[in-house]
Amino acid sequence: MTVSYDNSKIIFDGIKAAGIRSISALPETWLGPLLQRAEDDPDVRLLQVAKEEEAIGIAAGAYFAGTPHILLMQNHGFLAAINGIVSLAQLYRVPLCMLIAVRGHWGEPYPWHTRGGIVTEPVLRALEIPFEYARDPQKVAKQIREAWTFSQSSLSPVALLLTRDLMED
Amino acid sequence: MERAECLQIIYPELEDKLVVTIMGACAQELYNLGHRENFFYLQHAMGLASSIGFGLATHLPNERVVVLDGDGSVLMNLGTFATLARYRPRNLIHVIFDNGSLLSTGGFESQTFSGVTDLDAIARGAGIRHVAHAVTTLDFGEAFLAAIERQDLSVIVAKVSAVGPDHYGMDLPLGENAFRFRRWIQGRARAGGTA
């Protein structure tokens, strides 16, 4: 199995089509080709963090600044960022548009990803974070646009979950 | 040296800058000097004040951003030094009031107590070029003015005693603080094209 370069391009183009030019991320395998595109695009600012919780603060700063911003992370990074999501974003009504690569679920061969994969959806539900799964490359650009729109209208974190169907060839 | 004295010294300089403070004593002492619309008090999410400051500074290159951090908070997000050093926002001043104590959450000693952990060395080792160490109010005032004039990413570690305000309480709900802080920034961007 390899990461889908075609679908990574579709997602990247979808982010740009949504009017977003600022991205914070912690690189991981599925996000690699997507982040490479961001790094190579002179119109896009990519901020790479040391730990995903930092990106919650950066996203808040971008929101206060009035700059559309999106967060890219793996689901384990989402789990590592929870206090920031709860005690900054939700507490202060700061919207977050998060694209989360969901490792450790259907078809996962690697044991180390599985616990995180199994608990991701229940944790999202417990935190009352609205989410959708992105599986179809034909629909993902629209889903990104809608995730962005909903995060801004609800002043809430919103998650679009990038699945194996979408991210692997 | 007390943090409240340091805040009093720099308060006039904060009038036209975006200020992000950490929770508890630091937030209260700044508020007690007089709230301004350009102050954001992060009353939870310990560690993220400098990340918010980084997000502001990066996306508002024509503004100056001041983060008022603490040893307990920054110890929860040491990666922030590495991220700041990597991107080096020239318009960010990161002040860390190091009282060696988790004062606002019960007064337990932090890892910087008795100089066990050296925050200056951590910041420098992370790659931040301008790191000042202040033990007197004179040191602190000079370091802060130098940072303003330098126009480069600057960290100031201010050793302060573990004392806080005699009361807590702000007439400012958290959401209102966030909404108004954002509105102030947007208003300035519209008026002067600073964004």
Structural domains of chain A sorted by starting position, each given as residue range(s) with its CATH number in brackets:
5-167 (3.40.50.970)
Give the distance, in angstroms, between the CA of residue A52 and the centroid of all CA atoms in the same chain. Answer: 11
Between chains, do A62 and B83 touch, taking CB under 8 Å as contact?
no
How many angstroms separate the CA of residue B138 from the nearest CA in chain A?
Answer: 31
Look at residue B44 in the predicted model and tell me its pLDDT: 96
Question: What does R_g of chain A's alpha carbons equal in angstroms?
Answer: 14
In chain A, whose CA is at the least distance from the CA of B56?
A: A61
pLDDT in tens, B26-73: 999 999 999 999 999 999 999 999 999 999 999 999 999 999 999 999
Look at residue B106 in the predicted model and tell me its pLDDT: 83
Of B52, B82, B185, the CB nearest to A57: B52
A22 CB within 8 Å of a chain B CB:
yes
Q: CA–CA separation, B126 vs B124, rounded Å? A: 5
B-chain residues near A67 (CB < 8 A)? 59
Q: Which of residues 45-64 of A touch B (CB under 8 A)?
A: 45, 47-51, 53-64
Between chains, do A60 and B174 touch, taking CB under 8 Å as contact?
no
Give pairs for A147-150: CB < 8 Å, separation 24+. Answer: A147/A97, A147/A99, A148/A18, A148/A19, A148/A20, A148/A68, A148/A70, A148/A97
pLDDT one digit per residue (tens) for chain A, 169 residues? 799 999 999 999 999 999 999 999 999 999 999 999 999 999 999 999 999 999 999 999 999 999 999 999 999 999 999 999 999 999 999 999 999 999 999 999 999 999 999 999 999 999 999 999 999 999 999 999 999 999 999 999 999 999 999 999 9
Q: Which residues of chain B have pLDDT under 50?
A: none
Q: How many domains does chain B have?
A: 1
* Chain B interface mutation, best of A48, A53, A54, A154, highest count of B Cβ atoms under 10 Å: A54
In chain A, whose CA is at the least distance from the CA of B57?
A: A61
B77 CB within 8 Å of a chain A CB:
yes
* Residue reference for tokens 């951590």: B122
In chain A, whose CA is at the least distance from the CA of B60?
A: A65
Look at residue A89 in the predicted model and tell me its pLDDT: 98
**Count of residues for chain B?**
195
Domain that includes residue B25, residue range: 3-192
Between chains, do B83 and A65 touch, taking CB under 8 Å as contact?
no
Look at residue B105 in the predicted model and tell me its pLDDT: 80
**B58: domain CATH number?**
3.40.50.970
Amino acid at B171: D
